[in-house]
Amino acid sequence: MRQQAQELVTKLTTEEKLLLIKGMGSWHTHPIERLDLPSIMMADGPHGLRKQDQGGDNPMGLGKSVQTVCFPTASGTGASFDRDLLHRLGETLGQACRAHELGVLLGPGVNIKRSPLCGRNFEYFSEDPYLSSEMAVSYTQGLQAQGVGVSIKHFAANNQEKRRMTTQSVVDERAMREIYLPSFEQTVKRADPWTVMCAYNRLFDGIYCSENKRLLTEILRDEWGFKGLVVSDWGAVSDRVAGIEAGLDLEMPDSRNLHTDLITDALNDNTLSQAALDEAAARVIELVLRAVEGAAQAVELDAQRPECPEELNKRDHALAREIARDTMVLLQNDGVLPLNREQEGVAFIGGFAKQPRVQGGGSSHVNAYHVASAFETATAEGLNFEYAEGFGAADYNYDVVKAQAAIELAQRSEMVVVFAGLPESMDSEGADRKHLDLPPCQNQLIAELAAVQKNIVVVLCNGAPVRMPWAGEVRAILESYLAGEAVGEAQIDLLYGTYSPNAKLAETFPLRLQDTPCFGNFPGGTATVEYRESIFVGYRYYDKAEKDVLFPFGHGLSYSTFEYTNLRVSRKNITPDDTVSVSVTITNTGSFGAAEVVQFYVSAPEDASVFRAPQELKQFAKVWLKAGEKKRVTVTLDSRAFAYYHVGLKGWHCAPGEYAIHAAASSRDIRLSSSVNMQNEAADAPYPALPCYAQGLVHAIPDCEFEAVLGHEIPLANFPSPRTLTWDSTLEDAQQSPFGRLLMKIIDIAFPIVAGIAKDTIGDASGMKDAVTEMPVRSIAMWSGGLIDRRMVEALVSIFNEEEYLRSACELIAGGVRAVKTLVCK
């Protein structure tokens, strides 16, 4: 196919190549009809399809999307620790893509949860790179087996929404290799993703990911052997010429003629090679050919799925219920759960019982087929319960009337199930949270209910950890995450014991925001965000600092109990070339059929020359056991399980010595330990002495230690203000000028209107205003669908810089006239 693509490129004119390397509209590639090369369509992803209806393809991609089944988001599927489930999810989504004639689904999101505040954490699997990798590989294999491509995103170190389009992630090489890159690396090496989506932010040397050669070519292709296509995140391109040279093949969405002259000039003066352009065009052709072939080969597979969309949705909804049950984590239970179906005096309280959160806001938002709430399900199943709202699902402030009715109901009930969670605006693309709290109305009411009723179960719907000041006052807590449209059915299945919970946390729930490792360095300054904590992300930090947490990584309860016995390693002495098998017997000692997630952590030997986490997850297995049943679980560890990335050697190194291997029910529930002895030559120390890193004092890392791990000076955290603005500057920066301030006033007025219009397609966007003001000025041209061109953007930038007012105003007026003409001609 590569060869066929290369041959086709030789038949293309330069104009055709330039068309191919940018999108057509928001979601399509350009067809080249004279060569019979069709256009293919992409759509978000990752937990359902956001396919815009015909005609809904407006420049901002905000048209209404078709109705499809909404599956649990990655925060929950990550917690399943279930490779088969991810494979099945990928397969099902692949089939839905085929039914809707999509060539690529834009997911999975494999960024690491660096801070629980990141607004998009619900789209990401874990704080742990191994777990995230395994989930991503299985999802990709499942989906692509259906003849549809994935786009693993957002490459790379895109771990926050604040200033996501411009900030520079300042991350040391070792943290990149050990924490932020592995999910991409493993998916590329093991699952051959058709596409990788580069992130918005700037990375190595402060260069945008969309034009970062080190990232897109040296690491991705030369080191990992990536064969697919690199697509830009939507609107991530600043310098297209540099991007082509760096390895960015396809720019999305359609940038019209924004970059055409510059590319042509660069070709003419040889600052851009023809070979680089050809390569990008060939990769687009190859992607299209792959999709065409995938569709042809999938004909047989297509025959296995219902043809009518309604039937397909029905089938997928049933699967969404099964998947959702495997993604909800039982955080706490003193035995009150499961409830008895015959139980009298049950009260459901909280707006989330009727209006559950099923997904987050932003580009992943699916127009769900049928949202089943707990209220609706319990009613349909004839369960005996009363309901009081207490607080609305979108409420922030305490409402005395609603609360009073709930308290009265709690007083006369025997069992209260509170359905709480985060409002959608707090789990959304484009906006990070500022704190870990649930809305005050919820925390206050739960505390008040606990004062009048001792039997309280809390069911949460949220995409990322929250504080639970009332945890000690309630008997059980079920974390539903954002469990997709079958959320209520799955909640009832678990609450009433039709099924045992069996998921475990893929992230730590901290006690306080101040405890999080990047506290003080998140979200950073106007220019950069410093990843000072380096490899100490999530449990790697909490364990190192011996910090108490609310619920640890890997924690999750079941209705059964499991015993771990007979941990064995296949060999005691190993070298970096060996693998080692680790086996343990798991017995279901309870009376409930259920699954246990067995986790294997490795602890490296004490080594003063390099800081390491006390233990790291290196394998896991999910084992399903009937009551009383036992199974032997065997996993394999290869040298990566013992290695750290040595910046001096520019490679992985296994330090010699004794490594402990733990079989554990959570990162803080180690059941059995064994060890192996690594025989290898010691390497020179990668760093000078770093006392704060050595002790895990990540909140106090001095500049000199951070510079030592970075291997270069720390770039300035903030841009000088005022400064000369460019087209990469944001509307926030532009507020240094009177015209920028005026524009901001206009945005203040227009934003709620646009957010209202977009609600159907991206969910509650009310928290996303900062994302608009943090967009680079160039985005205005991009999102205008060609109405605003480069000259107009440059004129705007001049006005922001308070230069050449007259000429720039004339340019804007002339551009405005051109835009009106274009509109009229349409």
Cis peptide bond upstream of 45, omega within 30 = yes
Least separation in angstroms between CB 169 and ligand BGC = 15
Backbone phi, psi, residue 288, to 5°:
-65, -45
In angstroms, rounded to a whole number, what is the distance separating the alpha carbons of residues 594 and 821?
66
In whole angstroms, give the CA distance from residue 704 to residue 690.
9
CA distance 743 to 552: 46
Q: How many helices (H) and strands (E) does the chain have?
A: 25, 27
Residue 231's nearest CA partner among 468, 44, 478 is 44
What is the rounded CA–CA span in Å between residue 819 and residue 351?
A: 47
Chain-centroid distance of CA 291 in Å reads 25
Q: For tokens 């203040």, what's the residue?
A: 748
**Active-site residue identified among 57, 128, 233, 432:** 233
On the question of a cis peptide bond just before residue 614, with omega within 30 degrees of 0, the verdict is: no
Burial category of 463 from C-beta neighbours within 10 Å (exposed 0-12, middle 13-18, buried 19 and up): buried
Nearer Cβ to ligand BGC (80/201): 201
Identify whether 233 is a catalytic site residue: yes
Cis previous bond, 465, omega within 30: no
Residues 6+ apart with CB under 8 A from 45: 93, 105, 106, 107, 108, 150, 151, 364
How many CA within 13 A on the CB side of residue 114?
30
In the bound complex, what is the minimum distance in angstroms from residue 167's beta carbon to ligand BGC? 14
Backbone angles phi, psi at 578, to 5 degrees: -95, 160
Q: How far is the CB of 396 from ligand BGC (least distance, A)?
A: 26
Cα gap 622→633, rounded to integer Å: 9
Backbone angles phi, psi at 687, to 5 degrees: -130, 165
Which CB sits closer to ligand BGC, 135 or 328? 135
- The residue sitting closest to ligand BGC, measured at its beta carbon, is 363
Nearer to ligand BGC (CB atom), residue 351 or residue 523:
523
Rounded to whole angstroms, the Cα distance separating 688 from 706 reads 11
3-state SS string over 610-671?
CCCCCCEEEEEEEEEECCCCEEEEEEEECHHHCCEEECCCCEEECCCEEEEEEEEEECCEEE
Closest to ligand BGC by CB, 44 or 239: 44
Which residues contact ligand BGC by CB under 6 A?
44, 61, 106, 153, 233-234, 363
Supply the DSSP string of 402-460, one letter for each residue: HHHHHHHHHHT-SEEEEEEE--GGGSBTTB--SSSPPPHHHHHHHHHHHHH-S-EEEEE
Nearer to ligand BGC, 363 or 508 (CB): 363
Between 67 and 363, name the residue whose CB sits nearer to ligand BGC: 363
- Comparing CB distances to ligand BGC, the nearer of 44 and 507 is 44
669-678 vs 573-574, strand pairing mode: parallel
Mutual angle of helices 129-144 and 182-191, in 10-degree steps: 30
Comparison of 363 and 558: residue with beta carbon closer to ligand BGC: 363
Residue nearer to ligand BGC on the CB measure, 169 or 500: 169
Active site residues: 233
